[in-house]
Structure 1
């Protein structure tokens, strides 16, 4: 087997003339729709890359060196690739020449996209400049739908380098590729994923996976990367009676990994059930959400998204397509349920428990300091909510709230602003009527009344979860680069202790007074209706959690990188307050601080040694990478922006400097 240098340089001018790509066809074969055990494969999963298909590719190419670029990993390639080296980028000597990309595209069946930043149409020095299209994109820039439909755009562009944003959201007047990947594969079959995985691994390319781009830390970005775009893997199937390998017998639903929360909820309703999914409309069910544990408005009732999974289909780093369950590839099954995304493979589908149809009540309201007699009364009203967390979680409910200081009731305008507000985005009471929900809320609301707080709760009820959820959780604004967050999980012991609970309340007030904002949840990772599984990689701290707390810092669109660095460090350091209140807990990796101290312990806890060992076993070359993922400590992003290394994805990915 030739080395990476020979693989990259093999397409000389004479070879390009001799090799016709016109004779190449899409590299795939159709197999029977079985996976060795239930569930049946989706139609796109039956289109696979096999050794015989690759043999045909090699025969068509009549060039073993080029053909080997698409091979599955074997002992020799795995051994060679373990010697980590920096990932090549466009313009490098080792970057594949156009002919190789053309061959790759032919084998993919034409699904390769040479990407451009979404807002490049707004910049006259780009060939794609189009003022009319720019106006349309700018008008829709804060909508998740716009970024979901693009192969590389992400919803939090801070982590791709703040480049190529439309006015007025742009930091600079220039547009560069930044950390938007160079190429994307719009996948519609397992074979295409396998080809992309093999191609990236064999040529040492940086590889990222994108579904929607909804990620707090920009995992779907990567300078010079190849993207596997799973967004359109949308098949779904209902099993009225499913017998899982772990002994579960009951209704289940199999979802393609491109299915989003709103689609999952709607489909579950149509077959008379509910499923666990995220609160936000745009979340993709089968990617980093479930892999990271996945909290939900239904978690206090039924646990985390990772707890629901009965089987998965996965393309591993060696390019092989497998089924994972408690009996088939159990190590993979354990790892991909809570061990984080971007670790050892690409999930193509997952089968989850179909939960009972749930009548659901949601409650939405807000109050500001102007609705109270004084700032002390405002904060006493907030403290009265914290006093009820244990009762609320033990009733199976979920609350999603904001606290800050702003006349607009968004974020915190500046340190010292006293325009305090509390906004209950939604209090979710599954399996409860309006009357039952009012009875549960009565102790808190009675306290609000005694404090002379003015508030007007809106009660929304439906006989199923989806109809209640869709009214209470509108699509959130995205697309800006002006926020940095950190988070902490707070265990039951904090709320059982008057002292620790009061410390938490005081911390919220201090955060807001220092110019930060708070996004919080009362939630449990241990649902009251089920026993949590003991065979997945969910952060153990989730099992005793009663609250997930996010604290954030803000700046302006035109703020300098120095301001961002200072603000980022401030929120990370401020979070020490909550780390000290809950020192033995952790943080939810999907909504966490990119520069979290001791992130392996914070995100993975006692599971980390096993997770790291499995990472080396199933992905020895480090093909899959994210800044917060298992094995991230072995690599660094040599950031080209004026930030420390690995503070965003806008830089070359290299082995960690010694």
Structure 2
């Protein structure tokens, strides 16, 4: 064991008078042990903070006040009833850490602490970051995922951080504020840094958030006044050709660092002759809230959810979790949602066979049909085939709305209807097999005199078919609010319920909403779903995941956003009534979903909540819609109800 620790502080008994010297360096221990976890630790996981390191720190400091800022909790059995919750400390509060404290923290981290500024601050002349050239570059790239995921604080959907600093023409105000972008971020490269950040946030009563890439429909990576743990650069990958998992699985597996993104995972799997279950979107982080929230995939109808693939996880507290080791943590992290009890540093997943794959892309508008009745009949014929499509292991990602630009719905009553099959993906199928599967639907379209031109794309592996059929999505705007529902097989086996669903689609569009949907199941036809996950049970019998959204203009005031949000939440009662015993995918759901614990977690919620109290009794890990969120409220500073975004002080829930 090699300990890396040198520190020298002089001055008064408090940190206010501390003078740092050049001997102050990072605090970490490189772990070497005769007991090797399964799978073996990545290098970034071997560099840890231990009690021994902390004892050395305390001895050198001779200052318990300072040393205790970075200490592990002294009582691992503390219960919720023993904890006195209080509002999280914010910049400007008396208890907010001094600049010298942050300096010490940064040094112990090895210089990885970032004092963040809003990404678009270079576009505002009253900001010290003003730079017209940089602003022009940022504005040009503002809608690309790469820009936001490479920034330590930015998120893909700024509505949930408070719309506080966007470049023109995407801004609704002429000012740039920090909003709910975290004020500090730790650019993580080791487990020790995660442990230091967690300890510091807990001991100083700071709000803590975790960012991988910044995806998430509810902005979980944002938090006003927060310290962020940024795991984006945990990129290690390892192929394990004969992995023996604790749950009895014996076969090929891949261990990924939690910063690996979907495109990286898919490329790596292809390079070794395999496939893995990951998201549709190119830039989603595999090891973040995606897998923790269940994780639906173009391969889900074949192999199930992303959480189902996980064989082991390593966590920054620091533990290994599997079906036999820390099994309750393993169960919780496989579907119980991100930002709940810890920070995942890596996950080991099944390496699936290399699959020949066919994709099909096409669209039609009302102008490609004899009229609105034929258009909606064509949409209905798609719903009629959901069951056969899912039972063949396929996946479809589609949009329905009314807009001449074929994006969203321009206004209520617009009749420029469009249907866009972003991609129909058929794993383990040739073009001929895919054509045969689609024939009943396409025969219906032909009978309705619908004009459409399907483009078939085939590859001998999943990656090469996927990469050309799922273009990167636009992000960075604050003009959309969505809600979602999983609709089960029983809806599509019942003529009346299926027709109600078809009528609901038309009603949504006619009322100014748009639909982004998927035909999909969380129970893959090639495998039996595991029983040791906390994935929402409604996923197992789903045939479609339906997202319904409203939109407004960049300059719309908060009152319009509130009204539009309430409207789409209320409208979704139509689908909730059609499938009252189902639920919603938490990562692409309504922030103000009624009965969200039941909708996002189902019968698993009581156990999830109990484990939350066991492992995080102080409520250090918080995110809107996450397990235990009902105990807290974000006292939103924007003219919105509490907990409608992250731009506000985090406090215990008002009685």
What is the aligned partner in structure 1 of residue 5 from structure 2?
A: none
- Counterparts of 2:35 and 2:650 in 1: how far apart (Å)? 36
> How do residues 99-498 of structure 1 correspond to structure 2 at under 5 angstroms?
99-315=100-316, 320-498=317-495
Alignment partner, residue 6 of structure 1: none
Deviation at 1:482, TM superposition (A): 0.1
Do the aligned residues in 2 keep the contact of 1:19 with 1:61 (CA within 8 Å)? no
User: How many residue pairs are counted as aligned between the two chains?
Assistant: 645
Shift of 1:411: 0.1
C-alpha distance in 2 between matches for 1:243 and 1:18: 51
Cα deviation digits, residues 610-647 of structure 1 (max 9, x gap): 00000000000000001110000000000000000000
1:445–1:113 distance in 2 versus 1, CA, 3 Å: same
Note if contact 2:14-2:66 (Cα within 8 Å) is conserved in structure 1: no
- Out of 636, 639, 643, the residue aligned to residue 636 of structure 2 is 639
Does residue 523 of the first structure (1) align with residue 520 of the second (2)? yes
Equivalent position SS for 1:505 = helix
Is this contact kept in 2: 1:492–1:545, CA < 8 A?
yes
Distance 1:168 1:350 in 2: 40
Distance in 2 (CA, whole Å) between partners of 1:34 and 1:45 is 16
Q: Quick one: which of 580, 586, 595 aligns to 2:592?
A: 595
Q: Over residues 365-390 of structure 1, what are the superposed CA-to-partner deviations in whole Å (9 max), with x where a residue is unaligned?
A: 00000000010000000000000000
The question of whether the paired residues in 2 share the 8 Å contact of 1:33 and 1:42 is answered with: no
Aligned partner of 2:91 in structure 1 is 90
Q: CA deviation at 1:36?
A: 4.0
Kept in 1: contact 2:18–2:100 (CA 8 A): no
Q: Secondary structure at the match of 1:313?
A: strand
Q: Secondary structure at the match of 2:94?
A: coil
The alpha carbon displacement at 1:37 in A equals: 3.0
Paired residue secondary structure (2:22): helix
Q: In 1, Cα distance between the equivalents of 2:432 and 2:15?
A: 76
CA distance in 1, matches of 2:113, 2:648: 23
SS at match of 2:607: helix
**1:537 correspondence with 2:534:** yes
Give 1:601-616 correspondences, 5 Å limit: 601-616=598-613
1:582 matches 2:583? no
**Cα deviations across residues 282-325 of structure 1 (Å, max 9, x unaligned)?**
1100010000000000000000000000000002xxxx300000
TM-score (norm 1): 0.97
Contact 2:15 2:100 in 1 (8 A): no
> Is the 2:79–2:614 contact (alpha carbons within 8 Å) kept by the matching residues of 1?
no
How far apart in 1 are the matches of 2:125 and 2:34? 52
Structure 1 unpaired stretches of 5+: 1-9
How far 1:38 sits from its partner (Å)? 1.6
Deviations 1:491-528 (A, max 9, x none): 00000001000000000000000000001000000000
Question: Are the equivalent residues in 1 in contact too, given 2:180–2:648 (CA < 8 A)?
Answer: yes
How far residue 327 of structure 1 moved from its aligned partner, in angstroms, is 1.1
Q: Would you say the 8 A contact 2:399–2:515 is kept in 1?
A: yes
Match of 1:513? Answer: 510
CA shift, 1:56, in A, is 1.5
Deviation at 1:59, TM superposition (A): 2.2
Q: CA deviation at 1:74?
A: 1.7
Whole-angstrom CA distance in 1 between matches of 2:619 and 2:334: 20
For the 8 Å contact 1:398–1:521, the answer to whether it is kept is: yes
Q: CA deviation at 1:60?
A: 2.6
C-alpha distance in structure 1 between counterparts of 2:232 and 2:50, whole Å: 24
2:302 and 2:45 mapped to 1: Cα distance? 33
Unaligned runs of 5+ in 2: 1-9
Distance 1:570 1:232 in 2: 39
Secondary structure of 1:23 counterpart: coil
Per-residue CA deviation, residues 445-502 of structure 1 (Å, 9 max, x unaligned), is 0110111100000001000000000000111000000000000000000000010000
8 Å contact from structure 1 (residues 33, 40) kept in 2: no
Listed one character per residue, the Cα deviations across residues 542-597 of structure 1 (whole Å, up to 9, x for unaligned) are 11100000000000000011000000000000000000000000000000000000
Structure 2 counterpart of 1:27: 27
Any idea what the Cα deviations from partners look like across 1:520-541, whole Å, max 9, x if unmatched? 0000000000000011100011
User: Counterparts of 1:2-17 in structure 2 under 5 Å?
Assistant: 15-17=15-17
Q: Tell me if the contact between 2:15 and 2:101 (Cα under 8 Å) persists in the aligned partners.
A: no
Indicate which of 556, 559, 571 corresponds to 1:559: 556
Does the aligned pair in 2 maintain the 1:411–1:517 contact within 8 Å? yes
Structure 1 position 58, deviation (Å):
1.5
Compute the displacement of 1:11 (Å).
9.4
Within 5 Å, which residues of 2 pair with 1:28-47? Answer: 28-32=28-32, 36-47=36-47
**Partners of 1:18 and 1:139 in 2: how far apart?**
45
Give the Cα separation in 2 of the matches to 1:365 and 1:351: 36
Counterpart-to-counterpart distance in 1, 2:36 and 2:503: 56
- Secondary structure of the structure 2 residue equivalent to 1:481: coil
The answer to whether the 8 A contact 1:211-1:284 is kept is: yes
Distance 2:398 2:589 in 1: 17
